[in-house]
Structure 1
Amino acid sequence: MPGNTITDLPHRRFCFTGVRGVGKSTVINRIRSSVPDIKFVSGSDLLYEMMGEDYKHFEYLPEAEKFALRIKLNDLLQTIQKDAAKDLVVDSHLTVFNLKTHVIDTIFTDKDLEFYTDIILLDSYPEKIYDHRIRDVSKKRIVDKEIIAKELDFERRIASEIPEKYGIRCHVIQMGEDAALNLKKILTIR
């Protein structure tokens, strides 16, 4: 059965997840310099480095190609952590609204289940996500409040199912003033 239940790994691996526009990058940037023993990476940035300008069309690739890229990304994350010799926090997603099919896809793979020791869900409310997505015109994002609510619910459901089924620890942080402090607490407590 997949699932990383080993508790004495030399370094932990956190999937810092939440729907697009919840504020993961903002929260990470608030604590990045205060936790030098943690390596932070963006899954999207790494995919962009791997794909170049083709990254803009990632959502429209056949599922087999997307899956192969995610596996390649996972291998790269293992190398990054080995080289850094630190705990690793990956700004990522468990689920993503597929712009091609208009279905919310689970993108967390079996390889992810074997890799991550913890999931940290940054949660919020549809109105906050909507406000952020409307202000950030640099990225194409869904701004339908009903779909945003479905995205949030689905991400929460998957985040709660993974620990139950696979033994990966799950932490939930509510986006707000204390989000960065709460993330730092999770990352620094052994």
Structure 2
Amino acid sequence: MRRYCLIGIKGIGKTTLIKTILEEIPSIDYLIGSQILRQLVGPRFDNFDYFPAEEKQKYREKAIEYMIKRQNETQKDILVDGHTTLYNPISNEPENVFTDLDCKFFTDLILYEVNALIVLERRKSDSIKKRILDLSIIKNELSFERENSENIAKKYGMQMHYLNEDFHNNLNIELIKILKGEMM
């Protein structure tokens, strides 16, 4: 069974993209990484970024354990939307958030990238979630997510896929092709 992780920086549109294709992929179990963490952490989740590194690591590992159990029960491929990196508000730098369990769990990484200006506009239009609106930080996040995900895929033998502006308005079609094994 495959275990896909659609990765990209916060506010890039991962969840929105996946919602456009859910009806086309009934054989794939879709999970949102942050929702799993929210359930595990409980009411303190809004302060998760400020937890000690060891505590964040523990919760991230529990999330993977949950996904392993769920896949064993459903016997379906899994698609998770998540991140290999996140911006750390304490250090003011992006940091790796993929645990060793993440690296061993996922078979495929699908990197979703768009222009930093598009990310900025999407973040500005999201009135519900507080996002970083500094263009230089967004560019740094995009660069670090790409570099980190490529390094992880290479080190752990994962299949690396790319979704970006080259696909224009066909991102949903290209994502379906990846998930159906029609595009490597």
TM-score, structure 1 length as denominator? 0.92
Give the aligned residue type for 2:144. F
Give ranges in structure 2 of 5+ residues lacking alignment: none
3-state SS, counterpart of residue 120 of structure 1: strand
User: 1:125 aligned to 105, 115, 120, which one?
Assistant: 115
- Maintained 8 Å contact 2:104/2:156: no
Q: CA RMSD in A?
A: 1.1
User: 1:149 aligned to 109, 133, 139, which one?
Assistant: 139
- The worse-fitting range, judged by mean Cα deviation, of 46-55 and 138-147 is 46-55
Deviation by residue 1:102-131 (Cα, 9 ceiling, x = unmatched): 121100111111101000011111000000
> Where does residue 100 of structure 1 map in the other structure?
90
Q: Distance in 1 between matches of 2:169 and 2:73?
A: 33
Give the aligned residue type for 1:156. R
Give the aligned residue type for 2:117. E
Deviation of the 1:16 alpha carbon: 0.8
Q: Distance in 1 between matches of 2:37 and 2:181?
A: 30
3-state SS, counterpart of residue 9 of structure 2: coil
> Where does residue 179 of structure 2 map in the other structure?
187
Deviation of the 1:100 alpha carbon: 2.3
Deviation of the 1:189 alpha carbon: 1.6
User: 1:48 aligned to 38, 51, 60, which one?
Assistant: 38
Name the structure, 1 or 2, with higher relative contact order (CA <8 Å, separation 6+): 1
Alignment length, in residue pairs?
Answer: 180
Deviation by residue 1:133-184 (Cα, 9 ceiling, x = unmatched): 0000211110000000000000010121122222111000015411111110
User: 1:137 aligned to 127, 139, 153, which one?
Assistant: 127
> Where does residue 72 of structure 1 map in the other structure?
62
